[in-house]
Amino acid sequence: MSPGPGPGDRVTLPRIRGYLRANLGDPALSAERIAAAHGLPVAALRGWAAGNGVDLERWIAAERLRAAREALRLAAAPPDEASALRAGFTGYDALNRAFLDSYGIGVRQWWEIRHEQ
C-alpha cells in the first residue's frame, strides 16, 4: 500500500483521490486503511467525506470499476481472474457482477463489444 501524507498534512479531496487511485489494486482498501494512511480516525474521515458529498465505499467501488473498464478497453485479451484482481476486485465474478449492475451486461460481453470496433 502506498504511504499517505504525514499526520500534519491537510486532508484534501485530490490527496485522498490520489491515495485511493494508487491503491485500487489492493482488495483490502477501505475507509479504515485510508484513514490510517492519513493519520485520521475513521469517523473523522467519514465525516470529512460526507461533508464533501462522498460515500467512501461507493467511491472505491466506482473507481475500481472505472480503472477496470479502462484497462479492459486497452486489453488485447478478454477479461479473466487476473484482470479482476489487478483492479482490486475479489475475483472475476465480483468484476462481472459490477459490470452487470452498472452497465447491464457482463464484463466479457462488454469487452467483446468494445473490441469488435
Determine the pLDDT at residue 10: 67
Which residue has 467512501 as its cell numbers?
A: 56
Determine the pLDDT at residue 97: 97
Determine the pLDDT at residue 13: 78
Q: Do 81 and 92 touch, CB atoms closer than 8 A?
A: yes
Predicted TM-score of the model (pTM): 0.80
Write out pLDDT tens, residues 71-98: 999 999 999 999 999 999 999 999 999 9
First to last CA, the chain: 37
| Domain range summary for the chain, segments of one domain joined by + | 13-54, 67-116
Report the 3 state secondary structure along 14-78.
HHHHHHHHHCCCCCCCCHHHHHHHCCCCHHHHHHHHHHCCCCHHHHHHHHHHHHHHHHHHHCCCC
Determine the pLDDT at residue 116: 85
Q: Which letter does DSSP use for residue 117 in this model?
A: -
Q: Which CATH class is domain 67-116?
A: mainly alpha
Residue 15's pLDDT band (cuts 50, 70, 90): confident
Indicate if the pLDDT at residue 6 is higher than 60.
Answer: no
Write out pLDDT tens, residues 37-77: 998 899 999 998 898 888 999 999 999 999 999 999 999 99
